[in-house]
Chain A
Amino acid sequence: MNPLYAQLQQEVPLSWYLVLSAILFSLGVVGFLIKRNLITVFMSIELMLNGVNLSFVTFAHQWHAVKGQIFVFFVMMVAAAEAAVGLAIIIAVFRARATLAVDRIDLMKL
């Protein structure tokens, strides 16, 4: 039997997981650049965090290490705190300027 075919039937190379995580991260960056809504830009950041988390879990599986998974746990906790503060800031910005379009929130732009 073709060795590649036999391998494909059984197991998935960990590099595929890592490539998936790289693609998720890049899609997050693209979303950060093209989205024009403050909330959606924030969602793209969450997408990037998730991509990074996937590579942490993959490497934890590769090295049979628990510390990688614990790091993902910490990232999740910090992301929850970040989401709470970020959305509160978005609410405050919306109160002050009555818009969510990033093109119109340019007070600090040079």
Chain B
Amino acid sequence: MHLILFIVFAGFCLAGAVNLLLQTHPIGSALSLIVVMTSLAVLYLLLGAEFLAAAQVIVYAGAIMVLFTFVVMLLNAGREDRTLGSYAARIVGFPAVVVILSMLATILLHAQGLGTANLSDGITSTEELSAELFTKLLLPFEATSILVLIAILGAVALASRGDGARQKEGK
């Protein structure tokens, strides 16, 4: 059962990722990225990470992708024109990707000591996760909350800069 679920959702994942590359319109890429993220949530659930599966759907497939589609529609981004890309990407980039992927695949498939995943494996409860997060890792958690606050302020400042300048000119 685990194997079937893994193959189905890994297939969805890869199909979505490849479709992201093939789509010429940004909204098609955004929708296929949502497919990738939702099937990754199922894979997290298969690995016993129930809180992360929920967070993946809510934060990634929900909040972040809504932001992406919102910006695509706000800027009225049209069909992209395919060009050859940069010289460095063709000479260094693609060979490097092929080399890294084949090296990683070879190493991982021959790795000793890696276990297996089964449906009967226990799941990590949210209680365990939060006990660790809010006791030992409280300081990083608070630091991240400050980072998010700064990011919100920065986003508002960046996105509304044009309006502020226009208002000053109006005065």
Contacts and interface: CB of A to CB of B under 8 A. Distances in A.
A39 B71 contact: yes
Main secondary structure of the interface of B (DSSP, over half): helix
A35 B83 CA distance: 9
A3 interface: no
A95 B75 CA distance: 9
Contact of A61 (B17, B33, B48): B48
Contacts of A105: none
A10 B118 contact: yes
A19 B109 CA distance: 8
Contacts of A76: 52, 55-56, 59-60
A83 B159 CA distance: 13
A7 B2 CA distance: 11
A39 B93 CA distance: 20
Contacts of B29: 35, 39-40, 43
Interface in B80-113: 80-83, 85, 89, 93-94, 97, 100-101, 104-105, 108-109, 111
A30 B29 CA distance: 14
Interface in B124-150: 124, 128-129, 132-133, 137, 140, 144, 147-148, 150
Given A12-B6, A80-B148, A43 B101 contact: no
Main secondary structure of the interface of A (DSSP, over half): helix
Nearest to A62: B115
Interface in A17-46: 17-20, 22-24, 26-31, 33-37, 39-40, 42-44, 46
19 contacts: A12-B3, A12-B117, A15-B114, A16-B6, A23-B101, A26-B97, A27-B18, A28-B17, A34-B21, A66-B124, A69-B51, A69-B52, A72-B52, A73-B133, A77-B147, A80-B64, A91-B75, A92-B162, A103-B83
Interface of A: 7-20, 22-24, 26-31, 33-37, 39-40, 42-44, 46-47, 50, 53-54, 57-58, 60-62, 66-67, 69-70, 72-74, 76-85, 87-92, 94-95, 100-101, 103
Interface of B: 2-3, 6, 10, 13-14, 17-18, 20-21, 26, 29-30, 33, 36-37, 40, 43-44, 46-49, 51-52, 55-56, 59-60, 63-64, 67-68, 71-72, 74-75, 77, 80-83, 85, 89, 93-94, 97, 100-101, 104-105, 108-109, 111, 114-118, 121, 124, 128-129, 132-133, 137, 140, 144, 147-148, 150-152, 154-156, 158-159, 161-162
Give the 4 A-B residue pairs with the shortest CB-CB distance, closest first.
A81-B151, A88-B158, A11-B116, A88-B155
